[in-house]
Amino acid sequence: MRIVQVLLPLLAACGGDTSIVEVPNEEPTVSITSPPDGSEYDEDVLVAFAAMIDDDRDANDELYLLWQSDIDGVLQEGSLAQPDGTVTFVTANLSPGNHAITLTAVDSEAAEASDLVELTIIDVPDAPEITILHPVPGEYGIEEQLFDFSAIVSDQQDEPEDLLVIFSSDHPLVDGEFCQATPDAAGVAACDFALPVGDHFLELEVVDLDGYTGVATAYFEVIAGIAWDDDGDGWTENQGDCDDTDPSVHPTATEYYNEVDDDCDGIIDDGTVGYDDDGDTWTELDGDCDDDDASTYPDATEQCDGTDNDCDEVVDEDTVCYDDDGDCFCEGGSCTGSIYDGCHGLSTGDCNDADPSAHPGGTEVADAVDNDCDGTIDEGTSAYDDDGDCYCESGTCQGSVDVSCTTVSAGDCDDGNDDISPGEPEVCDGIDNNCDGTTDEATAVDAGTWYLDADGDGYGNPSSYSVSCTMPGGYVANSSDCNDSSASVNPTTYWYLDADGDGYGSPSYWTQQCTQPSGYVSNASDCSDGRASSYPGATEYCNGYDDDCDGSTDESSAVDASTWYRDYDGDGYGSSSTTASCYQPTGYVANSSDCYDYNAEAHPSATTYWRVDRGDGNYDYDCDGSQSKYYTSSYSCSYDWDGFSCSSYTNGWSGSVPACGATGSYRTGCSASFWSCSYSSSSTTYQYCK
């Protein structure tokens, strides 16, 4: 229930009066203003929603709001409105389909209201994707030998078997497509083909059922025949074989410690135990434990790099990456080891690697030391202000969570609540707010004033009162009794606020007084107490307001409602059928000048022509009061003078055929355009005016 307090002038006879009025809670109002109902968007496009909300109980930005889709479920929820009731929401994550989007607002008493907008998210076709499997970089073809060209494809809409892969080359002897392939169920498309010798720029194109394409390219070389490989190891001198007489020597061979350049890289015995591969003057035979790293060798300086730099079989000792005090924490980097073998995992962040009792997760005690390495000293102890009210519990305070505290003093009786500390004002809440050892004393800032109700009629004496956190026996919260010695004398009459002075009161704002207060009336029948022209029985106008308080706005009975005329055929001209409305109804216009409102060709602006008799009985097409029509009978076309077929005019004609003159002549008053037709049962020829 909403409590509305109305402070009224003191009455001479009854003294001061304060009344508490309970008004039923109303549900919020919700209106989605954007996007328009029935909107369409492509998938992945940002959709901006906007709405207006209002509530008579809670502030707009305190209402719980819930955006939902009947396809995607909850889209957003929480206190999302601005103080003025504006609500906005943007998303690009709506699934394809027809959505019903609902915005629901719930106030603090669970009253709720919703609004709905429907929109469509269009599933936009995606282009297929293709990745070349072969050739990979380094692969080459051999003259006149088949090579297995292949790719893997996928598509959001179509199955792999419904796609087509086209293989092309820019080589002059090919100059375009050389193969087509249909992928298998796994999306793999393959083509065995022997391309001519030379350089090829390959293009592999995948096409889906909608005509969308995906393209991948690769460089491919075809070399001359394998006769160049003299030792049969698969390598020619052109390809880098440094000894084409020894099949164990080629660019991919394994290098051995044998004083031979086995892998043809120009270096003998590199990568073997007898070669200094990293240039640190140490070989593996000399004790180098990593001959690929020049910073690693016997007697090297240990570094924080996860490497045994000095080859002593201990990694990163005496660096920030090593736990030197055995508490299972190192100082920084990625911890690589500890002097304590019992650590089940290592973590960084040790702020003192010479003290095993100081490390992240350590227990903080009131000792002026950062025991848990979080950068704060003594937090969570009696020597620290944990609630930010600039007071710690006892001892020498070391700091506060509130950096703005210039000093921190001892004496806090609840260091988990920043509203409780020495010097805080006492309030009526059952708590010792100021830490003075007393709870809810009469000096509390929100202590109530209670008034003596000597006659027990529920109304208090304004001259006799008491101040305390709880109401004493025999006292009440109001001071509106004008005679506290008689239970039969007290304020009982209801008066309703008439803010606009039209003689009708608001049902939402009332008070009880012994006599009528200024600005109040005895009725509560005003529907808009901010407009003096709105009250029961007032004249209704077309103005967007419920002037006569009958629950309807701008009804057809409004004194300034307009007369509209029915336009059945939609030609912009109305008939004699009318309706009254403040706003133009669909299918109605402001004029009544149509002479035939069931034929859109007939209206005051129509052009006068001779026309076909459609059997509708009305031929005044321009509404000028005169009629014109064809006189026709069933006949067939014998000659077409104006290039238009008259076969469409040979159905059920009536009346007599006028004699228009001899064949080939024009009837008086006719234009040059006419038809000449004859009866099917007679050779007599007539002219027909258009």
Q: Which domains does the chain have, with CATH numbers?
A: 26-122 (2.60.40.10), 129-224 (2.60.40.10), 630-690 (no CATH)
pLDDT score for 648: 35
In the 8-state DSSP scheme, what is residue 562? E
Distance of CA 12 to the CA centre of its chain: 62
Cis peptide before 585 (omega within 30 of 0): no
What mean pLDDT is predicted for residues 73-89?
93
pLDDT of residue 17: 52
Does residue 641 carry a pLDDT above 60? no
| 21-30, 160-169, 381-390, 678-687, range with greatest mean pLDDT | 160-169
Give pLDDT, residue 227: 54
For 165, which DSSP code? E
CA distance 571 to 622: 12
Q: Which of 292, 324, 289, 336 is nearest to 309 (CA)?
A: 289
Instruction: Name the one residue in this structure whose structure tokens are 């109304």.
Output: 459
Mean pLDDT of 88-98: 94
Check if the beta carbon of residue 204 is closer than 8 Å to that of residue 216: yes
Q: Give yes or no for residue 225 having a pLDDT over 80.
A: no
Residues 319, 307: Cα–Cα separation, whole Å: 11
The CA-CA-CA angle for residues 550, 556, 560, to 5°, reads 100
User: Tell me, what DSSP letter sits at residue 161?
Assistant: G
Does the pLDDT of residue 442 top 70, yes or no? yes
Which of 207-211, 262-266, 592-596, 635-639 is least confident? Answer: 635-639
Segment 570-585 mean pLDDT: 90
Q: For residues 88-115, give the mean pLDDT.
A: 94
In this structure, of 311-315, 396-400, 565-569, 686-690, the range with the lowest mean pLDDT score is 686-690
Instruction: Examine the pLDDT at 10 and tell me if it is beyond 60.
Output: no
With a pLDDT cut of 90, the percent of the chain lying above it is 43
The beta strand positions in 398-439, using DSSP E, are 399-400, 409-410
Give the pLDDT confidence of 460-483 residue by residue, as tens digits. 998 899 999 999 999 998 888 888
Q: What are phi and psi of 489, to 5 degrees?
A: -110, 110
Residue in 404, 312, 240 with CA at minimum distance from that of residue 250: 240
Report the chain's mean pLDDT, rounded to a whole number: 82
Greater confidence (90 vs 494) lies with 90
Higher pLDDT, residue 599 or 365 = 365
pLDDT (0 to 100) of residue 20: 56
pLDDT over 60 (residue 645)? no
- Distance of alpha carbon 105 from alpha carbon 207, whole angstroms: 49
Tokens describing residue 499: 């803010």
Q: How far is CA 133 from the centre of its chain?
A: 39
pLDDT at 690: 31
Predicted local confidence at residue 228, as pLDDT: 62
Mean pLDDT over residues 94-112, rounded?
A: 94
Q: What is the spatial distance between Cα 650 and Cα 657, in angstroms, rounded to a whole number?
A: 13
Give the largest CA-CA distance in the chain: 132
Q: Based on C-alpha coordinates, what's the Rg of the chain?
A: 49
Which range among 27-36, 238-247, 252-261 shows the weakest confidence by mean pLDDT? 238-247
Task: Report the pLDDT value the prediction gives residue 681, as an integer from 0 to 100.
Answer: 32
Q: What is the DSSP string of 507-553?
A: TTSEEEESSPPTTEES----S-TT-TT-STTPPP-SSSS-TT-SS-S
Q: Enumerate long-range contacts of 483-490, CB under 8 Å, 24 or more apart.
A: 483/455, 484/452, 484/453, 484/454, 484/455, 484/459, 484/460, 485/454, 485/455, 486/455, 487/455, 487/456, 487/457, 488/457, 489/457, 490/457, 490/458, 490/459, 490/514
What CA–CA distances, in Å, run from 128 to 122, 317, 487?
18, 54, 90
Residues in the chain: 690
Q: What is the DSSP letter of 254?
A: P
